[in-house]
Structure formats: C-alpha cells, structure tokens
Structure 1
Amino acid sequence: MAALDLAKTSNILNSTIDQRNKLLEEMRTNQGKDQENFNVAYFALPNPLGQIDARYKDIIGAVYSYNDDCIFYTQQLYDDLAKYGRKHRRKRFRFLASADPLPAADWTRALADDLIPSNDSYAGWLSGFREPPARFYWLTKLFCGEKKQL
C-alpha cells in the first residue's frame, strides 16, 4: 500500500511544483517590473486595497506537506521490503550459513535531525495495517484466556 500511496503522492508533488513554477513565472511577468508588488504577492502581504494573494504561500505549504508524505511512504516501503526480504531469505536460504542478512535501515539520525515526519502524523494511515495474529493465537486464547485489566 505504501508503494501506491508513494506513487500517487509523488505525482501530486510534481504537479504542485509545476504550479509553483507557473505562478512564479506569472508573478515575474506581471509584477516583476515593480518589486514592491512582487514582494506583496510572494510574501502574502496585504496590497494597498487590503487584499491578500496567498496562492504562493499555500503552494509552498502543499509542497512541504507532500514532501513529508513522500518521505514517510518511502520509509514505510523500505521497511516493509526489508522485512519481507529477511523473511524470504530465512525461509529459502536457511541452509546457507554464509548468507548475508539484509541490512536494516538506521533512521535514528534522520529522526533526530527532524528530517523524517513522525508516525503520529500518520496514525490514521498506520491503523489500517495491523500485524496478523500469531500462528497459534487461538490455542493461546483457549488455554490462557484473556488477560484481565486491573
């Protein structure tokens, strides 16, 4: 699912960047002669009539948001593929003692530098993907019963 969302979000990000470029070109041609009018549109300041043109500000906010989405979905896709690869490798190549394990990504530095959006922002998306129950879950439930909350 992360691959589909990544492809969709990447296309939307590209079209948003194209919109930004077109808007900048429009601002340069229409208001480039007068630097003050360009600054008013670029920084979303009120013009002499009190109107605010926030198109550029809104597009930059959308680029920021879609960029975060692409980063998040890429991270999820890598983690899922690595997990699948490790599982597949254990199953198929367990007789090869020298088989190198697939490396797991270390996201700690990127998370510390705030380059990767937190999972809290995507809690709704993540809630749709739960781990399947253990292989003999029903036996454990049958013999051990439900754990009671105190």
Structure 2
Amino acid sequence: MNELIDFSHTLIFAMRDALTPLISWEAINSFCNSTFTTSLVGALAGAFAGAVAAQNVADKSKRRDELIKEIRNTNTAIALTFSIFNLMFAIKKQCVAALKINYDEEKDRYLNYHAKLNNGQHQNLEPYALKFDLRGMSVTSPPTKVLQDIVFTALSSIGRPVNLVAALEEAVGNLNISITKRNELIALFRTEQFPEGADFEHMYLGVPYRDGHINQEYGDIVAAIASYTDDAIFFSRLLCQDLREHGLKISSNFERLTKDRSPRITEVDFKLDRYDELLPAEEQYATWFTAFKPVQEPKPSRWWKRKIQ
C-alpha cells in the first residue's frame, strides 16, 4: 500500500515538472502576442461592437415607433375629448342653461308673489300663472368608453389626465341618470297623480303644501342636470389641455431621439367668444388645479455614478 502511495506522489511531481515550462510567463506572453490570439481577440471585439451597435439601432427604431404611435393616440384622444366638450356645451346652450335659469326665476317669482299675499299686499297683484317647461330630454352617448380605453392603456400619461377621464365618464353617466329621472317625473306630472293636498305647482316648484309637506325632487333633478353638464364641460376642457401638454412632451422626446421633426400635436382653441358666457367658473373646481402636482422625471445619472446592480 505504501509503495502505491509513493508511486502516486512520484507521478504527480513528474507531471508538475513537465508542465511548468509550458505555463511559464514567457510561454503565456508568447501565446498572448501570437498572431492567432490577436486575430481572435480583434474578431471577438469587432463582433461585440457590431452586436451592440445593431441592438442600439433596433432599440432606437422600436422607441421611435412607440413614440409615433403614442402621438397618434394622443391626437385621437384630444379629438374625442373635444367632441365630448362640444356635445356637452351644445346641450347646455340649447337646453340646460335655459331650463335651470327659467326654473329658478319661476320659483323666485312664485315665492315673491305669495310673500306679498301673506303680507297683505293684494293691491295691483295680478293672478299668478305658473310658467313651466315639461319638454323631455334625450340621454347623451358621447365616446367616453373609447376615450377611457385610449388614456388608460395606450398613453403613458399619469396623474390628473387619468383622474379627469374617470371624472368625465362619471359626470356623463350621472347626467344621463338625471335626464332619465326628469323624463319620468314629467310623465307622472302629466297624469296629475299628486299626493292629497298637493297640486302641480307644489310638485313642480318644490314648495310646501298641506301641513307643511314638501317634495323638491323635480327641482333637485333640474339642479343636478345643470351641475353634471357643467362638470362634463369643465372636465373635457381641462382634459383637452392636459392631453396636449402630454403630447408636446412626447413630441419633444421624439425629436430628441430621432433629430427629426415630430408629427403635429392637435391644438384646441377655447378662447372663442361663443364659449365664454356658458363655460363654468374655474373657481368651482379649484382643487383640480391644486391637488395634482406635476411629475418630475428623474435626471439620468452620470455613467460613472451608476451602480452595478
């Protein structure tokens, strides 16, 4: 057994002595400076550089296509939003504004008339004749779902635009519910099936009748229609502006990447005189201007400061 161990040691030492000249510094230096080695290293370096360059070109081309697509989607979203704005504005101009103003004026006229009667001011008072508006309204069908799909899934925008789309869809939905409810109340009015002691004036104007009972449902619905219409107008207008700002940012990214001129971003002009009178006051929506802070994109760090993950 000892003889076998001695033989193994002898063999190991012999192999070490035989290989030592092959792995000497001179041998390594000679191998590294050989034509074969320098050719191989040069070929590998060239192949790596070519692969990196090709990948960069592919990445740039892909990013360019993505930016072009987002610019197109942004323009589509602006067009849809502006169409919703125009629809809501037309509804207010043609129907809702007059409905709300006339209703409020008629209720004030009724209350003033009866206040004079209660104060004994009967002289020169003409009999009161109620002025009412029982014209039905059609529910709206703006493309809010399509708009939501684009903003939520096809754009990289975050923050206020996303919230505006959700608020706009909710406003339109509530407006349609209110319109439907008003149409139902109008149908009930025409049947004249009122509670005991109440007549059309009481139910239409929401004023007290027998024993102080009161039903203000119709007046509340009129107020809701006016409020939701204003909401939809405001949200769609602000969303148009936010989408344009987003589009301009994407356009800037495109020009910085490609050094080419970016496709045009749709611009909407809300400064026309026909809009001014009926646009809801921005003061009613102050939180939409203060609750959302612009997202600051982080500045890229210098290459020598980047940590290897």
* TM-score using structure 2 length: 0.37
Q: Deviations over 1:72-105 (max 9, x none)?
A: 11011111111112222233256238x5453242
Q: Residue 69 of structure 1 aligns to which amino acid in structure 2? A: D
Structure label with greater radius of gyration? 2
Question: For the structure 1 residues 133 and 89, does the alpha-carbon distance in structure 2 shift closer, same or farther, using more than 3 Å as the test?
Answer: closer
Residue matched to 1:92: 254
- Secondary structure of the residue aligned to 2:291 is coil
Aligned ranges 1:53-64 → 2 under 5 Å:
53-64=215-226
Q: Equivalents in 1 of 2:261, 2:290: separation in Å?
A: 37
Aligned ranges 1:28-67 → 2 under 5 Å:
28-31=190-193, 37-67=199-229
Residue matched to 1:129: 292
Q: Residue 209 of structure 2 aligns to which amino acid in structure 1? A: N
1:7 aligns with 2:169: yes
Q: Equivalents in 1 of 2:223, 2:201: separation in Å?
A: 18
Shift in Å, 1:130 = 1.5
Q: Equivalents in 2 of 1:111, 1:6: separation in Å?
A: 19
Shift in Å, 1:58 = 0.9
Q: Equivalents in 2 of 1:125, 1:100: separation in Å?
A: 27
User: Would the aligned equivalents of 1:27 and 1:38 in 2 still touch at CA under 8 Å?
Assistant: yes
Residue matched to 1:118: 281
Residue matched to 1:107: 271
Choose 119-128 or 11-20, whichever is displaced more. 119-128
* TM-score using structure 1 length: 0.71
1:20 aligns with 2:182: yes
Q: Which sections of structure 2, spanning at least 5 residues, go unmatched?
A: 1-162, 300-309
Indicate the percent of aligned positions where both proteins have the same amino acid.
27
- Secondary structure of the residue aligned to 1:131 is coil
Q: Equivalents in 1 of 2:177, 2:233: separation in Å?
A: 17
User: Would the aligned equivalents of 1:9 and 1:69 in 2 still touch at CA under 8 Å?
Assistant: yes
Supply the RMSD in Å over aligned alpha carbons. 2.7
Q: Deviations over 1:5-43 (max 9, x none)?
A: 1011111111111111111111211349xxx92232112
User: Would the aligned equivalents of 1:41 and 1:53 in 2 still touch at CA under 8 Å?
Assistant: yes
Q: Residue 236 of structure 2 aligns to which amino acid in structure 1? A: T
Report the structure, 1 or 2, having the larger helix content. Answer: 2
User: Would the aligned equivalents of 1:31 and 1:38 in 2 still touch at CA under 8 Å?
Assistant: no
Q: Which sections of structure 1, spanning at least 5 residues, go unmatched?
A: 137-150
Q: Residue 7 of structure 1 aligns to which amino acid in structure 2? A: E
Larger RCO (alpha carbons 8 Å, 6+ apart)? 2
Q: Residue 96 of structure 1 aligns to which amino acid in structure 2? A: R
Shift in Å, 1:125 = 3.2
